[in-house]
Structure 1
Amino acid sequence: MSVIEYKGFGGVPLSADVLGDDNDPAVLLIPDIGQQRSAWRAVADGLALSGRRVVSLDLRASGGVDQLAAHVEDLRLVLAQMGSRPVVVAARHGGWIATRALATDGILLAGGLVLVDMPDDADAVAEGIAARQALPTLVVRGGFAAAPITSECDVFAAALPIGEQADIDDSDLALDADRTEALLGQLLEFLERRQPREATEFQAGSDPRTLRDAMGCFATGVTIVTALDAAGVPVGLTANSFTSVSLDPPLLLVCIANSAGTAPALREAGHFGVNVLQIGQQPASNRFATRGEDRFANLPWAPGQTGVPLLGSSLVSFECQRESLHEAGDHFIMVGRVVRAQFEPHRDPLLYFRGKYRRLHFA
């Protein structure tokens, strides 16, 4: 076992025990507010022996439930520093922290969520926090002690889009160790289904999400593809399916989903731009990936030589004349001839890997 320190909200240091092999699937354990990470010791040891890399976190030392917002920001920052998407397992009020931290873009931060003996949380239902959980979620009751089943728990679990429940039967428990073993069994069964240790396989006809996850293992940069529609209005969208094709002639390509709102305009555009993003442009990436946004509002951009909108401060902006267009399943491929490129070599690229933004770490 080793100890690692993360930086929480406001630079607060947060210590964690780390058990298991670095190459094993990760599990992040969150204690109850006011508890130490040692409360998870027996479960952490069992998970590590079962082939999981376990990170058992201490919450910030001061404050209770009234500092819930700070705990939430702490957890989001820790997840951003982990380098992989763990399954988050939270005890009691730690579940309040986890549900709020993962209600927004949780799928980019974690691979699953387990809530053990979480107290009734009517606010999570009323504020839509439960309904916004995009992660597979397991609600365990009786994990640490016999717990009454309440209607509020049922309402919360029912509001989860990908939720399931498990009740630990007290009639089969004679010792505290029995309860720990029962909890560990529930966790491992969920982990094996949602984040298996063996390599996941895709075959023709399998769940498309499995193929998407496989494709996500290829690290890419992030681009925003821009053009003018028939009325001369700037349009654009975020895309990471981009590559160079040829230097002579100078060709590149991008793949655009047929379902994208800007797809019709890009299909008809005679010229388009590809803006490769740097790390400071993550908000722009999010904006151009969200429907209903005024994507160019308050964003520095200028028309290029051909009139296409090019984003300021990009790592590189390519201005292209459309060379050809090819249909490819649920996407189409635009091949462009580069007529102009502007780049700033001293900026760091914004990267994307396994459904999460990354940064380049120099050795």
Structure 2
Amino acid sequence: MSLIEYKGFGGVVLAADMLGDENDPAVLLVPDIGQSRANWREVAEALVLSGRRVVNLDLRDGTDLAPHIEDLRAVLAQMGSRPVVVAAGRGSWIAAHALGLDDGTHLAAGLVLVDMPVDDVVIASAAATRLVLPTLAVRGGFSPAEASADSDAFFAALPLGQSADINDCDLELASDRKEALLGQLLEFLERRQPREAMEFKAGSDPRTLRDAMGCFATGITIVTALDAEGTPVGLTANSFTSVSLDPPLLLVCIANTAGTAPTLREATHFGVNVLQIGQQPTSNRFAARGEDRFANQPWAPGHTGVPLLGSSLVSFECQHESLHEAGDHFILVGRVVRAQFEPHRDPLLYFRGKYRRLHFA
């Protein structure tokens, strides 16, 4: 077990225990507000023995749900791979809201709500219907829970097979209840996040395909250009490849929804900056929304005027050669007119949703 830290909303540091093999499917445990990760420890250890990698999270102090919701979304974004989120008590409300703000499938593979407090039938039904990703609601997971009209409404709003009432089990000891809860978790995990090879088929969750693509290790680039007013723009991209040596061509794939997409579509010239191991903060900055990406970032205009980032492993200056529409991206092909490179630096790598570095035998 190791202690790790995540950056939450407003820069708050959130501590977590990391247990298990990093190659195993991930589970994120979220405690009730006012409790700590110690409440999940026995369950975490049992999940590790069942072939899971477990992140056992501590919440910040305070009962206001809003910062907790933003914290959880920030943690999930930093995890790299999509875990199944298992939350208890009011932590369940946090998880349900965090993953119900959009379809939630880009952040998590599934959601388990244990002993979720339900006090309002309207809110309960709305929370259930907003959850698009696979969900299991468990009642009586840690202690006996009496049924109520509100909690019954919440359970009824969930699709068939997405609820379990441990109170219905024959339980004599507290350990029996914990075993029953673990059994429900493992059954859900095996159905929604099996340990054997994952498979994508046409019509499957697009994130599954993204996870498959993420098994191909890549470098990281920042694509740059000047907009119509001469202001530098850029974004982080790892869909990059050499196309041809004669003529010298390369390509990058740009999401149609990217803020810089209109500029890159129209630019006569653009730059591709291949990052080295020390430029991870730069990669993060150019991937984030709402930041002045070039603030405090050393850069200089190349021979064609495009912004080139200082200290890059390689900087290519390209003339627009062609553009091809490709689903939710477009393929931008450039003719290389100039390249500067520093071969003694190590590349910044990306694999399975995380930054990596070279390891030599």
- TM-score norm. by structure 2 comes to 0.69
Residue number in structure 1 paired with 2:337: 339
SS of 1:188 mapped into structure 2 = helix
RMSD, aligned α-carbons: 4.9
Matched residues in 2 for 1:351 and 1:221: separation? Answer: 5
- The match for 2:200 is 202
SS of the residue corresponding to residue 303 of structure 2 reads coil
- Superposed CA offset, 1:159-202 (max 9, x none): x9x9x952415234333455334423432343234322232222
**SS of the counterpart of 1:340?**
strand
Select which of 163, 171, 175 maps to 2:172.
Answer: 175
Q: Corresponding residue for 1:52?
A: 51
Aligned partners of 1:104, 1:339: CA distance in 2, in Å? 45
Q: Which consecutive residues of structure 1, in runs of 5 or more, have no partner in the other structure? A: none
- Tell whether 2:301 aligns with 1:303: yes
2:89 paired with 1:92: yes
Residue 320 (structure 2) aligns with:
322
- What letter corresponds to residue 309 of structure 1 in structure 2? P
Deviations 1:205-260 (A, max 9, x none): 54444322221221223323222345655444432210123345432111233454
Gap regions ≥5 residues in structure 2: none
Distance 1:322 1:14, change over 3 A: closer
1:101-140 mapped onto 2 (5 Å cutoff): 111-119=109-117, 137-140=135-138
Assess, with a 3 A threshold, how the Cα gap between structure 1 residues 12 and 272 changes in structure 2: closer, same or farther: closer
* Residue in 1 that maps onto 2:189: 191
Superposed, which structure 2 residues align to 1:1-363 within 5 Å?
3-7=1-5, 18=19, 23-32=23-32, 33-34=34-35, 37=38, 40-41=41-42, 44-45=45-46, 47-48=47-48, 51-55=50-54, 57=56, 59=58, 65=62, 85-92=82-89, 94-95=91-92, 111-119=109-117, 137-147=135-145, 148-149=147-148, 151=150, 166-168=163-165, 170-176=167-173, 179-229=177-227, 232-277=230-275, 278-287=279-288, 290=289, 293=290, 296=293, 298=295, 300=297, 301-343=299-341, 349-354=347-352, 356-360=353-357, 362=359
Of 211-220 and 174-183, the range deviating more from structure 2: 174-183
Q: Structure 1 315/206 Cα, relative in aligned 2: closer, same or farther at 3 Å?
A: same
Does the 8 Å contact 1:227/1:273 carry over to 2? yes
Q: Is the 8 A contact 1:168 1:183 kept in 2?
A: no
**Kindly, what percent of the aligned residue pairs are identical?**
63
* C-alpha contact 1:270 1:322 (8 A) present in aligned 2: yes
CA distance in 2, matches of 1:52, 1:170: 27
Tell me if structure 2 keeps the 8 A contact 1:44–1:54. no
Structure 2 distance, partners of 1:68, 1:345, is: 49
Cα distance, 1:6–1:261 mapped onto 2, change above 3 Å: closer
1:305-354, CA deviations, whole angstroms, 9 ceiling, x for partnerless residues? 11223344544321111233344444332222222233456766444333
Q: In structure 2, do the counterparts of structure 1 residues 70 and 110 end up closer, same or farther at CA, with 3 Å as the change threshold?
A: same
Instruction: Output the CA distance in 1 between the equivalents of 2:204 and 2:39.
Output: 41
